[in-house]
Amino acid sequence: TPVRRETFSSRRLFILSAIGSAVGLGNIWRFPYVAYENGGGAFLIPYLAALLTAGIPLLFFDYAVGHKFRGSAPLAFRRLARPAEALGWWQVLVCFVIAVYYAVIIAWSSMYTIFSVTKAWGEDPEAFFMGDFLQRAGAATEASVSLDFVPGILIPLIIVWIVTIGIMIAGVSKGIARANAIFLPLLVVMFVILVVQSLFLPGAVDGLNAFFTPSWEALGDPSVWAAAYGHIFFSLSVGFGIMVTYSSYLKRKTDLTGSGLVVGFANSAFEILAGIGVFAAIGFMAQAAGTTVADQATGGIGLAFIAFPAIVSEAPAGQLIGVLFFGSLVFAGVTSLISILEVIVAAVQDKLGAGRTFSTLIVSIPMAIISIVLFPTTTGLYVLDTVDGFVNQFGIVAGALVAVIVVVWIYRKLPSLREHVNRYSSFKLGGVWFILAGVIAPVVLAYMLVTEIIAKSTESYSGYPLWFNAIFGWGMSVALIVFAILMSFVPWSAKSKLNFDP
């Protein structure tokens, strides 16, 4: 007998969980810098265009596939069309890679939450991060192969895995929904306090000016538009199988588009809030260091583990800033990590017809081992960066593009998906959705994919040696494609009815 599919017990909990997935490291450390670099205040225009013309339409697309076909990504796509199953596995594999990376960043952030109290980095946060923390001082540009351990990172990494495995085993409503219902409000409260505190720092206004001042000429630059679209896909977690998986747990009669609009706008609101908070803090740092905002502006690992510790050291009540900032990274990260893991766990559950605990363990333990063995090493850091660059910019774009082409153009499922969505939704999808999800989105994605392939094959990523790219970038991408196709030929458990069509 088929096992009953788990459900979110209410739409509110689904929305909370979907926001929890969307609001992640991307909002806090990626958006502010991307916006600043790509026209400042003027970036709002391509950003909103990307949100409305591609982000939200594809969010509806993911919801429609997951909710109509009620399965993990591989099962939902398999039910949609036999050959599309491989696409689902590609998304599963991309999630596998991202999860390993996410877990490491969460572990670092939890260490830095504690470090903030004592300002453990001393006088030189950069030397501390590169040296004491990562033990790779002097190796900043040259990739080297070694497996020297950094024990300080080991313990938090193990804790992160134990906590997330616990949440995953507890299941969709007792684990995922509950964790989001606790962590997301906590995140919002902490982050709002952080932003307010940052706004009162001397120099904050300079940061805000730098962030919001529009450079209108950026609007004529295609790379600015590509940055906006690229960011939106990542930020809304579309094209990863995440929203497919989460919406498969929704009850039949659910307002899908209404939920999607709430999720989309909540994510953007959080991003803009983060832009304000981060640039207020950077403005303060520029003043304290007697430099310009442009000198201090940065994103990603550099912002979190080098720039912010300096701010914590200099600012009045800096310890509080540090605890709030790194604590926010931890909570935002955990709620995203569990959504990524759910894609993989659900796929294994469906494929094998296995129980929740077994599926969680068989997925998480190898992942935990990879992140524990590989990433706290000097080589691991380079692998992490290279793989992240590839998977984020290439894996998602390629996956989303193929999904749209297969579903819209080869199998022509858009009309039936629309009908499904409109049955219970408040915001009805019309012909505009066909144009946005079926034409605009794939054109933009194809453009991004081609530019990305050209960029990746002509220049090494972040200045690492080209052979490094070859192995961890292209080699990994090809291996994942092959593996995804192979997985689509592994037989399904009899419990997963493949010819289910509502």
Geometric angle at alpha carbon 297, from 296 and 298, rounded to 5°: 115
Minimum distance from CB of 233 to ligand PHE (Å)? 9
Taking Cα atoms as reference points, which of 254, 270, 354 lies closest to residue 7?
Answer: 254
CA distance 206 to 288: 12
Does residue number 27 form part of the binding site for ligand PHE (CB under 6 A)? yes
CA distance 90 to 70: 18
Distance of CA 76 to the CA centre of its chain: 21
- Residue 218 and residue 43 in contact, taking contact as beta carbons nearer than 8 Å: yes
Interface region with ligand PHE, contact rule CB under 6 A, candidates 20-28, 58-66, 104-112, 418-426: 20-28
CA distance 385 to 234: 16
- 203 touches, from Na ion, ligand PHE, none (C-beta below 5 to 8 Å by class): none
CA distance 83 to 350: 17
Sign of the four-CA dihedral 226, 394, 241, 332: negative
Minimum distance from CB of 263 to ligand PHE (Å)? 11
Sign of the four-CA dihedral 11, 261, 341, 409: positive
Minimum distance from CB of 103 to ligand PHE (Å)? 12
Q: How many residues bind Na ion (CB under 5 A)?
A: 5
CA distance 10 to 12: 5
Binding mask 51-90 for Na ion (x = CB under 5 A): ----------------------------------------
Does residue number 26 form part of the binding site for Na ion (CB under 5 A)? yes
- 234 touches, from ligand PHE, Na ion, none (C-beta below 5 to 8 Å by class): ligand PHE
Q: Which of 19, 22, 100, 398 binds Na ion (CB under 5 A)?
A: 22
Minimum distance from CB of 331 to ligand PHE (Å)? 12
Does residue number 268 form part of the binding site for ligand PHE (CB under 6 A)? no
Q: Which of 13, 19, 25, 347 binds ligand PHE (CB under 6 A)?
A: 25
Minimum distance from CB of 21 to Na ion (Å)? 8
CB count, 10 Å around CB of 487? Answer: 18
Distances in whole angstroms, Cα of residue 86 to Cα of each of 77, 79, 487, 489:
8, 12, 7, 9
Binding mask 322-361 for ligand PHE (x = CB under 6 A): --------------x--xx---------------------
Binding mask 215-254 for Na ion (x = CB under 5 A): --------------------x-------------------
Distances in whole angstroms, Cα of residue 413 to Cα of each of 64, 323, 432, 434, 445:
10, 48, 16, 11, 19
**Contacts of 287 by beta carbon, 8 Å cutoff, 6+ apart:** 202, 203, 206
Burial pattern 312-329, b for ≥16 Cβ within 10 A else e, equals bbebeebebbbbbbbbbb
Map the footprint of ligand PHE across residues 70-109, applying CB under 6 A. Answer: 98
Q: What is the 3-state secondary structure (H, E, C) of 438-472?
A: HHHHHHHHHHHHHHHHHHHHHCCHHHCCHHHHHHH
- 240 touches, from ligand PHE, Na ion, none (C-beta below 5 to 8 Å by class): ligand PHE
Q: Which of 26, 299, 376, 442 binds ligand PHE (CB under 6 A)?
A: 26
Q: Between residues 116 and 328, which has the closer beta carbon with respect to ligand PHE?
A: 328
Interface region with ligand PHE, contact rule CB under 6 A, candidates 19-27, 248-256, 305-313, 476-484: 19-27
The residue written with tokens 């630059």 in the block is 221
Interface region with ligand PHE, contact rule CB under 6 A, candidates 196-204, 236-244, 310-318, 407-415: 236-244
Minimum distance from CB of 336 to ligand PHE (Å)? 4
DSSP letters of 195-216? HHHHHTSTTHHHHHHHHH-B-G
Geometric angle at alpha carbon 225, from 219 and 229, rounded to 5°: 150
Minimum distance from CB of 497 to ligand PHE (Å)? 28
Minimum distance from CB of 366 to Na ion (Å)? 27
- 380 touches, from Na ion, ligand PHE, none (C-beta below 5 to 8 Å by class): none
CA distance 445 to 398: 8
Minimum distance from CB of 335 to ligand PHE (Å)? 9
**Which stretches of 208-248 are assigned E, i.e. beta strand?**
none
- Residue 258 and residue 427 in contact, taking contact as beta carbons nearer than 8 Å: yes
Interface region with ligand PHE, contact rule CB under 6 A, candidates 231-239, 314-322, 358-366, 397-405: 231-239
- 254 touches, from Na ion, ligand PHE, none (C-beta below 5 to 8 Å by class): none
Minimum distance from CB of 339 to ligand PHE (Å)? 5
Interface region with ligand PHE, contact rule CB under 6 A, candidates 21-29, 346-354, 380-388, 453-461: 21-29
Minimum distance from CB of 344 to ligand PHE (Å)? 11
**Residue nearest Na ion by beta-carbon distance:** 235
Intra-chain end-to-end CA distance of the chain, in Å: 19
Q: Which of 72, 198, 235, 477 binds ligand PHE (CB under 6 A)?
A: 235
Minimum distance from CB of 341 to ligand PHE (Å)? 10
Q: What would the two tokens of residue 424 be?
A: 């219970």
Residue ranges binding Na ion (CB under 5 A): 22, 26-27, 235, 267
Footprint of ligand PHE (CB under 6 A): 21-22, 24-27, 98, 234-235, 237, 240, 242, 336, 339-340
